[in-house]
């Protein structure tokens, strides 16, 4: 519980709380701050001030996540929430709340069903949403307060002043009682359970709970889970900060390249956007209806055009009751019964069947009532009544009606059915003691491993899966897979064991199958580690030079090894040989240290930095060299290695850039638009140039980098 003091109070998860004569005033609301405030004496604030920016690019989260405070105040406290901001912020937030509270205003479900509206289970989703909405309008839940022309807002004897780029000031009876920074402080808070001693090795089939509870439970993580299929992860509605939790738990994020997004409530979609901005481009599976809602919501939060948001990930639009294959498993999707469009699914893999309800009111008495009212169509009614209780594993939500399934109903089912049910989206205190139902257990250490019939080709599948996820071999023809199986060897190293010694001849290429390695002795001040699906030892094979670094097993490691001549023959005739030669030359220019000290590129993983190094060209430039001409299209961008570069517009200096800074405008470069400013070397410089096509390809594969470069664009050329 937060202990309040006079003046400014920092909330544990972020944002600030000020105690005033008109009640609590909260500045900013990063995800789940309601779990900090709902236990306060006056409970959740009813007054919120929007921060200067609604979205934090670095962490990929909204810092004005007001859905749950609004729900709490309206449904549990019968109070309206006052949201104070600018006119522009009001319009953006109204879009967010429309999508999350009431759902999309227009629906076109016919394109998502194989027979359109004639499909047997076609729902009247609009009628279902209207039923849950009742006669509520957005203005029944929230009131918007707008700063006046002097950037002030008065509440009784309390005055809030907004100073652009500086912060917020709170006065009471003319006396300043609080000062809030413009950039909000926020903190990642989650329980990682037990960190694994060794990097996680995914099973042929398994389930890891990312959170067992709901958004109003301060004791547990919000619901979400990972399905492990074919030793690959599929995230379902990852809760916020799941990516950080996985890293802390010793789970390589490269193991998870798919997300199923069921609907657009903050406890289900916030972690999805974080995953999008992680190390590589992922695939999101959902219906066009849910995806359109997601894009409208995050367009309003981030300010990015919808087309740019779609470019951050691969979208697989699923059809209802039509098979979708993900990592070798067969999925069938359906719409659950909820207040906004939400999908659940059934899945088959080998001898296992799995059913996931998503948020869903699964209650026969409710079905009968809604059918009698004409809300449910006959086909929809039959579909909901005939729940597949015979499935081997049922992951079923449980919560507060009328939006969720009462746990009492699940506990009334026959014992043999209860034994197949794992309940989630429910607080531990609300879970019944006398039941055969299992409560989802959070943590990688509590991963469930149902028995599965293994494939006779499991070893070949495992090796080819590794080949498929090594970016070096992207675009190689299928015929190369047979060659790969013929030349690859497997070897294990114990933690601390040396794999490569500096100065020895390069005779092998290594791909990490599991574990992590540490690179030492390359003259860098920054740690360099590589994990699963990453590689090392390639440079000396191409250049013929001796090994330039020592490589140790950071953990127990399994690697795939290819001998030098086999490797050179395998890549012969591809662009890879040229890429690796360029990478070796770039590294001689201290590129690793430059990227590691860069405000934009420092957060990149070792693998991402290696990718970026492979497209850089080091070059020296004399002082007063024009790099970008204002109003002219450029084919290149730059990263400053040594020296200084000045940016100017209309003859006026904008900014001076130094070591590690990005010189260019990603928005205009990507679209072949004229540069919005002049860039000129202020001193003699060593720069790393990168061609537009190479950079465009790189950011397509690394959407988090793209977002950071767009932030640079917004800061320099708003």
SS (HEC) of 434-501: CCCCEECCECHHHCECCCCCCCCCHHHHHHHHHHHCCHHHCCCCCHHHHHHHHHCEEEEECCCCEEEC
* Model pLDDT, residue 460: 87
Q: Between the CA of residue 630 and those of 361, 649, 672, 717, what are the distances in Å?
A: 58, 7, 13, 12
Using CB atoms within 10 A of its CB, is residue 609 exposed (0-12), middle (13-18) or buried (19+)? buried
CB 492 within 8 A of CB 510: no
Q: Please give the residue that has the higher pLDDT: either 79 or 304.
A: 79
CA atoms within 13 A on the CB side of 39: 13
Dump pLDDT digits (tens) for 266-290. Answer: 888 989 998 998 878 899 999 999 9
| pLDDT number for residue 242 | 85
Q: What is the pLDDT of residue 179?
A: 95
Q: How far apart are CA 263 and CA 337, in angstroms?
A: 12
Tokens of 518: 């540490």
Among 192-196, 408-412, 615-619, 669-673, the minimum mean pLDDT is found in 192-196
Collapsing DSSP states into helix, strand and coil, what is residue 387? coil
CA distance 327 to 325: 7
Q: Does residue 522 surpass a pLDDT of 80?
A: no
What pLDDT does residue 189 have? 62
Mean pLDDT over residues 548-574, rounded?
A: 91
Structure tokens at 609: 């930095």
Q: List beta partners, residue 232.
A: 229
Res 461: pLDDT: 84
Note the Cα 587 to chain centre separation in Å: 31
Q: What whole-number percentage of the chain has pLDDT above 90? A: 67
Region 12-33: mean pLDDT is 93
Give the tens place of pLDDT for each residue, 320-337.
999 999 999 999 999 999
Return all residues near 553 (Cβ < 8 A) that are at least 6 apart: 493, 494, 495, 496, 497, 498, 499, 515, 516, 517, 518
Q: Which of 44-53, 344-353, 514-523, 607-616 has the lowest mean pLDDT?
A: 514-523
pLDDT of 162 > 90? The answer is yes
Instruction: Please name which of 15, 55, 49, 40 lies closest in space to residue 266, comparing C-alpha atoms.
Output: 55
What average pLDDT does range 48-74 have in this prediction?
90
**Residue 21 clears pLDDT 90, i.e. is over it:** yes
Instruction: State the pLDDT at residue 217.
Output: 86
> With the C-alpha atoms ordered 560, 565, 568, 572, is the resulting torsion angle positive or negative?
negative
Q: Is residue 255 classed as helix, strand or coil in its secondary structure?
A: helix
Residue 524 confidence (pLDDT) above 70: no
Average pLDDT value for the chain = 91
With beta carbons less than 8 A apart as the criterion, state whether 502 and 537 touch.
no
464 contacts 513 by C-beta, under 8 angstroms: no
- DSSP bridge pairs for 657: 645
Query: Once rounded to an integer, what is the mean pLDDT over residues 488-494?
Result: 95
Of 451, 256, 261, 219, whose CA–CA distance to 356 is shortest? 261
Neighbours of 229 (CB within 10 A): 25
Angle between helices 288-302 and 266-276 (to 10 degrees): 70
Residue 566 confidence (pLDDT): 94
Give the pLDDT of residue 241: 84
Quick one: which of 612, 598, 622 has its CA closest to 683?
A: 622
128 Cβ neighbours under 8 A, 6+ residues apart: 337, 338, 370, 375, 376
Residue in 219, 251, 220, 225 with CA at minimum distance from that of residue 238: 225
How far is it, in rounded angstroms, from Cα 24 to Cα 26?
Answer: 6
pLDDT (mean) for 485-489:
93
Across 382-399, average pLDDT: 96
**Domains defined for the chain, CATH in brackets:** 8-181 (no CATH), 205-446 (3.60.15.10), 458-587 (2.60.120.10), 594-716 (2.60.120.10)
Where does 30-138 show beta strands of DSSP type E? Answer: 47-49, 55-56, 61-62, 81-85
The arithmetic mean of pLDDT across residues 180-209, rounded, is 81
pLDDT score for 368:
97
Tell me the torsion sign for CA atoms 484, 485, 489, 490: positive
- Grade residue 523 by pLDDT with cuts at 50, 70 and 90: low
CB atoms within 10 A of CB 570: 20
Residue-level pLDDT at 681: 97
Q: What is the C-alpha separation between 310 and 91, in angstroms, rounded?
A: 22
In this model, does residue 79 exceed pLDDT 90?
yes
Q: What is the pLDDT of residue 712?
A: 78
Averaged pLDDT, 713-718: 63
User: pLDDT, tens digit, for every residue of 375-385?
Assistant: 999 999 999 99
Locate 135 and state its tokens.
Answer: 């006669």
Place of tokens 């590294």: 587
Tokens at residue 369, please?
A: 């009532």
**Terminal CA-CA length for the chain:** 41
pLDDT for residue 184 is more than 90: no
Q: What pLDDT does residue 186 have?
A: 73
- pLDDT computed for residue 85 by the predictor: 97
Grade residue 399 by pLDDT with cuts at 50, 70 and 90. Answer: confident
Closest C-alpha to 515, from 500, 530, 527, 528: 530
- Partners of 85 in the β-ladder: 146
140-149, 495-504, 529-538, 625-634: least confidently modelled range: 529-538
**Cα 497–Cα 501–Cα 505 angle in degrees, nearest 5:** 140
Three-class secondary structure of residue 712 per DSSP: helix
CB environment 442-457: b (16+ within 10 A), e (fewer) = bbbeebbebeeeeeee
Q: Tell me which H or E stretch contains 710.
A: helix 703-716
596 has pLDDT over 70: yes
The answer to whether 45 and 17 have CB atoms below 8 angstroms apart is yes
pLDDT of residue 475: 77
In the structure encoding, which two tokens stand for residue 302, read together?
A: 């981030």
* pLDDT at residue 249, rounded to an integer: 87
Q: Is the model's pLDDT at 695 over the cut of 90?
A: yes
Segment 529-555, tens digit of pLDDT:
898 889 999 888 888 889 888 999 999
Neighbouring CB atoms inside 10 A of 336's CB total: 23
What per-residue confidence (pLDDT) applies to 693?
A: 93
Query: Where is pLDDT greater, at 521 or 572?
Result: 572
Q: Please tell me the predicted confidence (pLDDT) of residue 247.
A: 83
Cis peptide before 34 (omega within 30 of 0): no
Helix (H) or strand (E) holding 205, with range, is strand 205-211
pLDDT on residue 329: 96
pLDDT above 70: residue 717: no
Please give the pLDDT value at position 660. Answer: 95
Split at pLDDT 50, 70, 90, the class of 1 is low
pLDDT band for 657, please (50, 70, 90 cuts): very high
pLDDT confidence band for 473 (50 / 70 / 90): confident
38 Cβ contact partners less than 8 Å away, ≥ 6 residues apart: 44, 72, 216, 218
Cβ atoms of residues 324 and 349 within 8 Å: no
**pLDDT of 631 higher than 90:** yes
Rg over CA atoms, the chain: 27
Interior/surface letters 56-73, b for 16+ CB within 10 angstroms, e for the rest: bbebbbbbbbbbbbbbbb
Reduced to 3 states (helix: H, G, I; strand: E, B; else coil), residue 565 is helix
Count CB-CB contacts under 10 A for residue 517: 25
Angle 183-188-189 (CA atoms, 0-180°, nearest 5)?
A: 135
- How far apart CA 478 and CA 468 sit, in angstroms, is 10
Looking at 76-90, 130-144, 308-322, 451-465, which range is the least confident one? 451-465
Asked if 17 and 37 count as a contact pair (C-beta separation under 8 A), the reply is yes
pLDDT digits (tens, 9 = 90+) for 418-439: 999 999 999 999 999 899 999 9
3-state helix, strand, coil in the chain (%, to 5): 30, 30, 40
Q: How many CB atoms sit inside 10 A of residue 221's CB?
A: 24
Whether pLDDT at 369 is above 60? yes
Report the alpha-carbon distance of residue 588 to residue 246 in Å, rounded: 34
Contact 86, 147 (CB under 8 A): yes
């Amino acid at each position: 519980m937060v202990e309040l003091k006079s003046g400014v109070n920092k909330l544990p998860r972020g944002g600030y709380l000020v105690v005033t004569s008109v009640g609590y005033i909260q500045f900013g609301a990063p995800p789940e701050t309601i779990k900090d405030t709902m236990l306060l004496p006056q409970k959740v604030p009813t007054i919120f001030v929007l921060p200067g920016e609604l979205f934090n690019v670095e962490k990929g989260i909204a810092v004005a996540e007001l859905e749950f405070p609004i729900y709490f105040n309206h449904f549990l406290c019968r109070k309206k929430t006052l949201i104070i901001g600018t006119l522009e912020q009001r319009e953006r937030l109204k879009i967010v709340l429309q999508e999350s509270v009431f759902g999309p205003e227009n629906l076109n479900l016919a394109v998502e069903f194989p027979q359109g509206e004639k499909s047997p289970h076609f729902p009247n989703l609009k009628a279902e949403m209207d039923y849950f909405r009742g006669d509520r309008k957005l203005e029944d839940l929230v009131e918007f307060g707008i700063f006046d022309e002097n950037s002030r807002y008065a509440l009784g004897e309390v005055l809030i002043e907004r100073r652009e780029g500086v912060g917020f000031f709170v006065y009471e009876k003319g006396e300043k009682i609080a000062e809030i920074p413009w950039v909000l402080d926020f903190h990642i808070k989650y329980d990682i359970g037990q960190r694994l001693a060794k990097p996680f090795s995914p099973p042929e089939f398994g389930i890891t709970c990312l959170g067992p509870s709901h958004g109003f439970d301060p004791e547990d993580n919000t619901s979400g889970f990972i399905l492990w299929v074919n030793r690959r992860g599929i995230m379902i509605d990852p809760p916020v900060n799941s990516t950080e939790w996985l890293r802390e738990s010793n789970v390589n994020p490269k193991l998870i390249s798919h997300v199923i997004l069921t609907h657009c409530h903050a406890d289900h979609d916030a972690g999805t956007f974080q995953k999008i901005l992680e190390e590589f481009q992922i695939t999101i599976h959902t219906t066009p209806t849910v995806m359109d809602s997601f894009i409208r919501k995050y367009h309003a939060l981030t300010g990015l055009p919808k087309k740019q948001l779609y470019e951050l990930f691969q979208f697989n639009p699923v059809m209802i009751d039509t098979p979708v294959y993900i990592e070798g498993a067969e999925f069938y999707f359906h719409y659950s019964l909820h207040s906004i469009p939400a999908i659940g699914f059934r899945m088959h893999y080998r001898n296992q069947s799995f059913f996931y309800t998503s948020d869903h009111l699964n209650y026969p008495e409710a079905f009968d009532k809604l059918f009698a009212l004409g809300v449910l169509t006959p086909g929809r009614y039959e579909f909901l009544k005939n729940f597949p209780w015979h499935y081997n594993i049922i992951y079923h939500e449980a919560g507060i009606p009328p939006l969720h399934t009462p746990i009492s109903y699940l506990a009334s089912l026959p014992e043999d059915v209860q034994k197949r049910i794992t309940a989630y989206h429910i607080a531990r205190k609300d879970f019944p003691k006398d039941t055969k139902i299992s409560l989802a257990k959070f943590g990688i250490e509590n991963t469930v491993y149902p028995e599965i019939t293994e494939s006779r080709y499991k070893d070949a599948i495992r090796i080819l899966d590794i080949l498929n996820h090594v970016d070096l071999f992207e675009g190689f023809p299928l015929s190369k897979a047979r060659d790969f199986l013929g030349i690859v060897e497997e070897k294990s190293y114990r933690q601390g064991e040396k794999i490569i010694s500096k100065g020895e001849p390069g005779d092998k290429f290594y791909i990490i199958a599991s574990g992590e390695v540490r690179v030492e002795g390359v003259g860098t001040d920054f740690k360099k580690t590589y994990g699963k699906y990453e590689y090392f030892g390639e440079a000396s094979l191409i250049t013929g030079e001796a090994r330039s670094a020592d490589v140790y097993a950071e953990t127990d490691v399994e690697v795939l090894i290819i001998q030098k001549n086999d490797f050179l023959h395998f890549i012969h005739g591809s662009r890879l040989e040229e890429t690796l030669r360029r990478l070796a030359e770039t590294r001689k220019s201290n590129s690793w240290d430059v990227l590691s000290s860069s405000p934009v590129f420092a957060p990149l993983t070792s693998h991402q930095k290696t990718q970026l190094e492979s497209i850089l060209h080091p070059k020296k430039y004399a002082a007063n060299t024009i790099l970008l001409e204002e109003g002219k299209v450029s084919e290149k961008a730059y990263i400053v290695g040594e020296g200084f570069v000045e940016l100017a517009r209309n003859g006026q200096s904008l900014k001076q850039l130094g070591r590690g800074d990005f010189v260019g405008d990603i928005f205009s470069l990507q679209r072949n638009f004229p540069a919005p400013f002049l860039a000129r070397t202020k001193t003699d410089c060593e720069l790393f140039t990168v061609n537009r096509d190479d950079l465009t390809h790189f950011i397509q594969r690394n959407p988090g980098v793209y977002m950071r470069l767009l932030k640079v664009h917004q800061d320099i050329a708003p």
